[in-house]
Structure 1
Amino acid sequence: MSLPISAANAPCPMDLALESEEDNHSSDESSDDSVDIIRPDPVEDIPDDDEGQDDDYEAPGEANTPPVNSRKRKWGQKSVSEPALKASYQVALRVAQTKQPYTIAESLILPAVSLMCKAMLGKDEEYEEKLRSIPLSDATIARRIDEMAADVRTQLVEKLLKADYFALQLDESTDVSDEAQLLAFVRFVDQDEMQEEFLFCKQLPGRATSSEIFRAIDDFFHEHHIPWPKCVALCTDGARATCGLKSGLIALVKDAAPQLMWTHCMLHRENLVAKDMSGELSNVMDTVMKVVHFVEKRASQTHLFSSLCDAAGEGEEHTALLRHSGVRWLSCGAVLSRVFELRASLRGFFACHDDSAELAGCFSDDAWLTKLAYLSDLYRELNRLNGSSMQGGRDAHVNQLYDRMEGFLKKIRRWRGRVREGILSMFPSVEELCESAALSPHLTHTIVSHLEALDDAFGEYFSEAELWRKDKTWIQFPFKDGAADGSNLTVTEEDQLIELSTDSTCRNAYETRPLVQFWISCQKDFPQLTAKAMRSFLPFATTHLCESGFSSLVYLKTEYSSRLKPEADLALCLTTSICPRIDALCASH
């Protein structure tokens, strides 16, 4: 039930209380102890349309203002039961975690629950009354989400302050309202587990310059009393605002944390490598994008193409092409594979269009189709490297991903030799096209040259791999003879490594646990050695978490909710190991 219209201009209870206090002070300063100063209770305690306002409620006004003590009882009364309050928080948490609009709680969830209860339990006025007592208005859901997000942030900051070190992952993007949003994730060790959590989402004013990005991080650290020296690593993409070593973000951060290590996102570097291709293959890629655009630009053409696919027996799952976005690095491989799979239907489709003779000719050209097949197979391998290896998990570390990258490079070098020998089984689509004839010398040269260029580009973009591994043999192979040779271990650390290498319990843990978990388990017995090892495991190798976070941001902040401040919702839907303390929040009301 909403407030009467006459309450629109009514004075706030706080104002009335302060006026009463001032009157008492002006008449007799010695009467301070007798003044009953009213402090308004939290918003939830004030009766409103979603928290059980009495039908006879009347807003206080100048003409009918009740005595101070009476007003205090009226405004301070608790009209929501503890179970209803807890249910309100739980529903709000689910709304945030599923990235739904706040109105869904009152417009869909509550009516649906009521209908389910009626269907399963029969008509019962008691439970209907209890359901109606749960505060679920959009404003209430927003407050609940803000409170739970603040509680999660408090717990996270407490964990960061207890941790020895932590690492950051940052990325910046523009949302639907053209506002620059900075996302940050943090990695740290908590209770013998490596944790990766959402840290913040901050709107950047104006242009997203390095100084503005640093100011956003620095303000957050100062607000929560997080010391910069605890930050030992930072992972970003290669944007100019972040990677500048003299005036970019890295330079500013290193002034605050001199020991910080910077890692350039491996996914971003791999994307840069994949874009570097010869003119012939680049033309094939451009033609594929033209094909997709031509088919998808009109609904009539899309329907015609789907009909051709059905008639050709391609199957229901393959009646449409996929679109590629330059910022979705993994989508290119899927687009190429789909175009190659539907090549017969595309040939028939373009044969029906006189204005696309050039595109129609491509699907009748065996050489062009072979290049398409090669790109489809190659990008499938790159996507496999991206998906299963590069994105990793909480126990994935930079050294491990460099090892996987080195394995991929060795495969590329072996593929070159096989193509020269006429062996094409590692490229199944190419093998399918060429099963009745060998590759032409020109196509063989094109593929081999591209593989050589890939090898060189990977070597250029990942040239620091050996530097990263330097002096770290003892971390990966602590039980190997001479593991400490050439390392930068102190005398105390080297002695602890010797003790560890002869400990049978540690050896068993090394053989049965992931490397990160093994070193965490050594923390108690070998603290100095473990602390140095953990600094190599903390840095992020990619900005994959930020990319996933931006996907959630796109889902949350649409043209219909462009004014939303998304940080609280993101904190609840992206945080994995920390839960809001709902019971404590209820007790605070």
Structure 2
Amino acid sequence: MESMKGTTRGSDLYDAVSGCMQRMNLPWAKLLNVTTDGCPNLTGKNTRLLRRIQDRVREDDPNSTLIFLHCIIHQEALSKSVLKLDHVTKTVVKLVNFIRARALNHRQFIQLLEESEAEHTDVQYHSNVRWLSLGTVLRRVWDLRDQIGVFLENVGKAGDFPELEDSDWMLDFAFAVDLMGHLNDLNRKLQGKDVFVHELYSYVRAFRAKLTLFSRQMTNKSFTHFPTLATMKHVPSRLTVKYTTTLEDLHTEFNRRFSDFGKIEKEMEMVSAPFSFDSDQAPPEAQLELIDMQCDPTLKEKFASSSLDRFYGALNEGKFPNMRRHAQRMLVLFGSTYVCEQTFSVMNFNKSRYRSRLTDTHLSSVLRISTLNTTPDFGDLVKKGDRLSCSH
């Protein structure tokens, strides 16, 4: 991590990255992949960070081509922008804010839930920063809709939320609950450490196939995978057409946003499933090696019994140099910025306003301790210590 103060223009970011590369004596020619969250000062075409990095790498290796990826988790979250569900989310957020913003309303609502022995004990706030929160809020409000209706009647505010009596709006609400639930399931699968890029992309491909299935079933008024919507008594044909269009728009948006992963899809497939990959589609320099690998039963057994990185690490470099090189390219890619985001969360937790004397050096040391899984050998540290005190 690099500390930056002042402006964060593309030139400032490049200077910080370049200084870090020089300080750590890292060769630019070996840089293969840059994964970002897609903000303009990183991804601009001319003077932004990625363009500057590409130009710098080509100074050392003119034939080098960097793989630029947009964080797959960010892409999934941004894909929700095509969903025309603002009329649902705004009303739900307004309802939650009404209940929780005032202490009296909040206490009365919690008491009502306790008296009615409801499944949930409270409603949650929605935050745009927390990608899973919207689906959770929609589900919680849906589950407590009867109690919320009673509460609004008790405080005389039922007229402020006429949507709760609108059958079309309630159908849209039910559809939103199910769809956001599916998106949240995908988001959870995309999170985590030590996940190769082809695994992340396989989840996205599976979800696109699911969207196609959802659209087909919705056209036939089959709500098998939309259980909340299935509980409604009657869904008019005009609404099923609207929901089908929404699912198709989401599918189109997924195709557009994940096009950068689609460009390396064949390369990922060749590395992740070499024994079923068509050798005709492999790069010319790797075709003969791929055939040799597919005809070797010993390697096939090793592939089935070991992890992907261990398998390619154990390949004979003299026999399969190109396959090893292609595997290295794919297995070192970062499909998401999950590790960075997690580290930022740790940093914000430690860098509070009560720690005014925390320097960049101290913060770096704290982050190193907080993010490593290594357990210190305290016994050995004590033996080597030169400032031992008998009074402690």
Give secondary structure in 1 for the equivalent of 2:259: coil
Alpha-carbon shift at residue 229 of structure 1 (Å) = 2.1
CA distance in 2, matches of 1:579, 1:543: 27
Counterparts of 1:208 and 1:397, CA distance in 2 = 30
Residue 401 of structure 1, aligned match among 172, 197, 200: 200
Displacement of 1:220: 1.9
The answer to whether the Cα contact below 8 Å between 1:295 and 1:305 also exists between their aligned partners in 2 is yes
Change beyond 3 A, Cα 1:465–1:234: closer
Q: 1:270 aligns with which of 69, 76, 80?
A: 76
Matched residue type, 2:384: A
The question of 1:288 aligning with 2:96 is answered no
Match of 1:413 in 2: 212
1:452–1:528: structure 2 CA closer, same or farther, 3 Å change rule? Answer: closer
The Cα offsets for residues 236-289 of structure 1, whole Å up to 9 and x where unpaired, read as 1010011123211111211232432111011111111112222xx211111111
- Which of 319, 336, 342 aligns to 2:121? It is 319
2:13 corresponds to which of 191, 204, 213: 213
Instruction: Tell whether the 8 Å contact from 1:422 to 1:438 is kept in structure 2 after alignment.
Output: no
Out of 19, 27, 31, the position equivalent to 1:231 is 31
Return closer, same or farther for 1:527/1:585 CA change in 2, 3 Å cut-off. farther
Residues 9 and 41 in structure 2, CA contact (< 8 A), matched pair in contact too: yes
Equivalents in 1 of 2:238, 2:215: separation in Å?
14
Equivalent position to 2:242, from 441, 446, 459 = 446
* Residue pair 2:139, 2:177 contacting (<8 A) in 1 also: yes
Is 1:250 aligned to 2:44, yes or no? no
Q: 1:407 to 1:473 in 2, by over 3 A?
A: closer
Amino acid at match of 1:406: R
Question: Which residue is equivalent to 2:295?
Answer: 502
1:576 aligned partner, one-letter code: N
Alpha-carbon spacing, 1:494–1:463, altered in 2? closer, same or farther (3 Å): closer
Between the aligned partners of 1:374 and 1:583, the Cα distance in structure 2 is 60
Counterpart CA distance in 2 for 1:415 and 1:495 is 42
Q: Alpha-carbon deviation of 1:339?
A: 0.8
Matches within 5 A, 1:60-459: 200=1, 202-258=2-58, 259=64, 260-278=66-84, 281-315=85-119, 318-355=120-157, 357-359=159-161, 361-388=162-189, 390-394=190-194, 396-432=195-231, 434=232, 437-459=233-255
Q: Provide the rounded CA distance (Å) in 2 between the counterparts of 1:456 and 1:333.
A: 21
Counterpart contact for 1:472–1:487, Cα < 8 Å:
no
Alignment match, 1:567: 364
Q: Deviations over 1:282-333 (max 9, x none)?
A: 1111111111111111111111110111122204xx1211111111111111
Q: Please tell me the root mean square deviation across aligned C-alpha atoms, in Å.
A: 2.4
**Structure 2: distance between partners of 1:418 and 1:354:** 41
The alpha-carbon deviation at position 370 of structure 1 amounts to 2.0
Residue type matched to 1:237 in 2? Answer: D
For 2:68, what is the secondary structure of its paired residue?
strand
How many Å separate the matches in 1 of 2:312 and 2:378? 31
Pairwise CA distance, 1:451: 0.7
The secondary structure found in structure 2 opposite 1:327 is coil
TM-score, length basis structure 2: 0.88
Deviation at 1:392, TM superposition (A): 4.8
Q: Distance in 1 between matches of 2:184 and 2:383?
A: 47
Deviation digits for residues 118-150 of structure 1 (CA, Å, limit 9, x no counterpart):
xxxxxxxxxxxxxxxxxxxxxxxxxxxxxxxxx
Displacement of 1:479? 2.4
Shift of 1:515: 3.2
Q: Secondary structure at the match of 2:69?
A: strand
Q: Return the match for 1:519 from 296, 312, 334.
A: 312
Corresponding position: 1:536 with 2:335? no
CA distance in structure 1 between the partners assigned to 2:173 and 2:351 by the alignment: 37
- The question of whether the paired residues in 1 share the 8 Å contact of 2:192 and 2:338 is answered with no
Q: 1:529 to 1:366 in 2, by over 3 A?
A: same
- Alignment partner of 1:257: what SS? helix
Shift in CA distance, 573/338, structure 1 to aligned 2, threshold 3 Å: same
Could you say which residue in structure 2 is the equivalent of 1:167? none
For normalisation by structure 1, the TM-score amounts to 0.60
Higher helix share: 2
Work out whether residues 267 and 330 of structure 2, in 8 Å CA contact, stay in contact via their aligned partners in 1: no
Kept in 2: contact 1:374–1:429 (CA 8 A): yes
Residue 348 (structure 2) pairs with residue 551 (structure 1): no
**1:274 partner amino acid:** K
- Summarize deviations over 1:26-64 as a string: whole Å, max 9, x none: xxxxxxxxxxxxxxxxxxxxxxxxxxxxxxxxxxxxxxx
Partners of 1:569 and 1:446 lie apart in 2 by: 51
Higher mean C-alpha deviation, range 334-343 or range 208-217:
208-217
Give how far 1:500 is off. Answer: 2.4
| Equivalent position SS for 2:3 | strand
- Give me the whole-angstrom Cα distance separating, in 1, the residues matched to 2:223 and 2:3: 50
**CA–CA separation in structure 2 for the residues paired with 1:265 and 1:473:** 19
CA contact (8 A) 1:479 1:501 kept: yes
SS of corresponding position for 1:204: coil
> What's the CA shift for 1:412?
0.9
Judged with a 3 Å threshold, the aligned counterparts in structure 2 of structure 1 residues 363 and 412 are, in CA distance, closer, same or farther, namely same
Which string of whole-angstrom CA distances, capped at 9 and with x for unpartnered residues, describes residues 405-438 of structure 1?
Answer: 1211111111112122221120111112x2xx33
In the alignment, residue 267 of structure 1 is paired with which amino acid? Answer: I
Change (3 A) 1:585 1:268: farther
Kept in 2: contact 1:324–1:335 (CA 8 A): yes
Equivalent pair of 1:496/1:529 in contact (CA under 8 Å): yes
Residues 1:586 and 1:207: Cα distance change in structure 2 (over 3 Å): farther
Instruction: Supply the AA of the counterpart residue of 1:478.
Output: P
Sequence identity of aligned pairs in percent?
26
* Range that drifts further, 244-253 or 285-294: 244-253
Q: Distance in 2 between matches of 1:522 and 1:578?
A: 32
Instruction: Give the length in aligned residue pairs.
Output: 376
Once residues 473 and 308 of structure 1 are traced to their aligned partners in structure 2, the CA distance between those partners, rounded to angstroms, is 55
AA partner of residue 75 (structure 2) = R
Deviation for aligned residue 1:514:
3.7
Instruction: Provide Cα deviations, 1:371-400, integer angstroms capped at 9, x if missing partner.
Output: 112111111111111112x12541x32233
Tell me how far apart the structure 2 counterparts of residues 410 and 497 of structure 1 sit (CA, whole Å).
Answer: 29
Q: Unaligned regions of 5+ residues in structure 1, if any?
A: 1-199
Asked whether the 8 Å contact 1:232–1:257 carries over to 2, the reply is no
| TM-aligned CA deviation for residue 402 of structure 1 | 2.2
Shift of 1:364: 2.8
Residue 460, structure 1, aligned to residue 256, structure 2: yes
